[in-house]
Amino acid sequence: MHERAGQVAREEDLIDVDALIAAYYDKEPDPDNPDQQVVFGTSGHRGSAFDTAFNEAHIVATTAAIVEYRRSQGTDGPLFIGRDTHALSKPAFDSALEVLAAAGVEVRIDASDGYTPTPAVSLAILQANGAGSRAGAGAGANSSTGLRRTGPGLADGIVITPSHNPPRDGGFKYNPPHGGPADSDATSWIARRANELLRTGWREIARLPLKEALAAETTTRFDFLATYVEELKNVLDLDVIRDAGVRIGADPLGGASVEYWGAIAERYGLNLTVVNPKVDPRWSFMTLDWDGKIRMDCSSPYAMASLREKMSGDAPFDIATGNDADSDRHGIVTRDGGLMNPNHFLAVAISYLYTHRDGWRADAGVGKTLVSSSLIDRVTADLGRRLVEVPVGFKYFVPGLIDGSIGFGGEESAGASFLRKDGTVWTTDKDGIILALLAAEIMARTAKSPSELHRELTERFGESVYARIDAPANREQKAKLAALSPEDVTSTELAGDPITAKLVRAPGNDAPIGGLKVTTDNAWFAARPSGTEDVYKIYAESFRGEQHLQQVQADAKQVVDEALGS
């Protein structure tokens, strides 16, 4: 823990924006250096220009690869592109547009040259492809949602964001016609082709000068904000929030939702205050995260220290919310409970939604990642719903959200989305804005805070403690962890309880989890290799208290070390 965790950043903590942008253009990656190649994780390619990991060459090559990929898939409709407030997002946007315009791709950019939340891009793609309409959208449409899967004119998108990562980082991800994160088949193809282009000469890729790219006939404006805000009424009971007078404090944390919150308040007459309207690519107003870094993680009590302070004492709000830089994550702060653990709010959201959404299918399941709390399992069973437990990655919820067979999909890292009130798809990427507004709807309808409702759930289903720790692992050990089989685990007990399951594939879709999960009746742990650091992550939960959790964590490390031969 850093000694200044939770304290406002100092000048020495801030990046030099001019130097970072200069590095974007000046540094050229070595295509044979694994640390300088294009690598797509669960949320696209990320890195810093300072480390020669996110530079002009990467974006030009990756965009050209996306152009080739979408053509190979028959995707020839508009490409919606949005960016967040990170310093590297604008130069990456410029580079991408230059390539797309030269390739003749029909591009939709923000009408006001503003910032675009990830869910607004997902919504735009889905609407362009006919989703959200039970009437259908012609040939190739899914009969329940209207989403076209085949045929000419399909839209897709690019979102330029490293999410909650520090200000020095950039991020670039591709969303295909289903509107959600691309699957590994697509990202592997794009990354492989991009790295080939880096080797063969990325400077030879055709580009239009930015001014010409902006003026090209294929480049048109799209009002992401107005479209998103107007459609919110179909996914949330905003009139209920307004009529109850719930006082909301919304903190964009300097991210892409900064203009959206004010527009939402005005359109629906909500008692909502934008707590911090500042946009600063250095994020000088942020409080430091646990490790002393500036990180817009709205699930971290340290990054959210300023908003937590506003909710202490005689707080002017009934509920306060935060979003990360691209608004795909949510943080919920209540007057009676402080910043909610993401797992706690997910359980409350599920309990509420499945009893207040009559338009959803009776068999609509509950989607969760396998490292999310088992409280969700217990709530889901009590609701009589099907649990769909998948590996880490929101892409695994996409098919179910599209056809309505999953009503809610959520991750332990405070990312989630859910269906419209009529049971059709809303977004297939995470949406931190609707989760924040859902907290207000819950208060308006139940007259209880989400924290209070969580306490009621624990009284019924038991109270758990949950934590994540990291353990060192080199590249070879991480690869071995990702390839483990149940037979590699020889232990029969975990923290004194018999092991009930050893999982390397997710129960909900039989997809490999890229690691290991071990469960007992009272606890579980999951171990996964980090994609960016020489560590593996141990997630653990116990329903028998903090001391038992610590024993679970210690046993988990021993189990994994033995399996790895460490």
**Catalytic residue annotation:** 163
* β-bridge pairing 415-418 and 406-411: antiparallel
| C-alpha distance from residue 210 to each of 161, 187, 402, 414, 558 (Å) | 20, 26, 36, 36, 55
**Greatest CA separation for the chain:** 67
Q: Are 497 and 437 in contact (CB under 8 A)?
A: no
DSSP-assigned letter for residue 30: -
Give me 233's structure tokens: 């009424």
3-state helix, strand, coil in the chain (%, to 5): 35, 20, 45
Other Cβ atoms less than 10 A from the Cβ of 268: the count is 17
| C-alpha distance from residue 277 to each of 161, 163, 254, 333, 487 (Å) | 19, 18, 7, 18, 53
| C-alpha distance from residue 191 to each of 163, 180, 182, 558 (Å) | 19, 18, 12, 35
Name the strand (E) or helix (H) holding 213.
Answer: helix 210-215
Give me 79's structure tokens: 């490409």
Phi/psi zone of residue 155: left (φ > 0), alpha (ψ -120 to 50 degrees), beta? beta
List b or e across 101-112, with b for residues whose CB sees 16 or more CB atoms inside 10 angstroms: bbbebbbbbbee
In 229-340, at which residue ranges do the beta strands (DSSP E only) sit? Answer: 248-251, 272-274, 319-323, 330-334, 338-339
- Amino acid 520 reads T
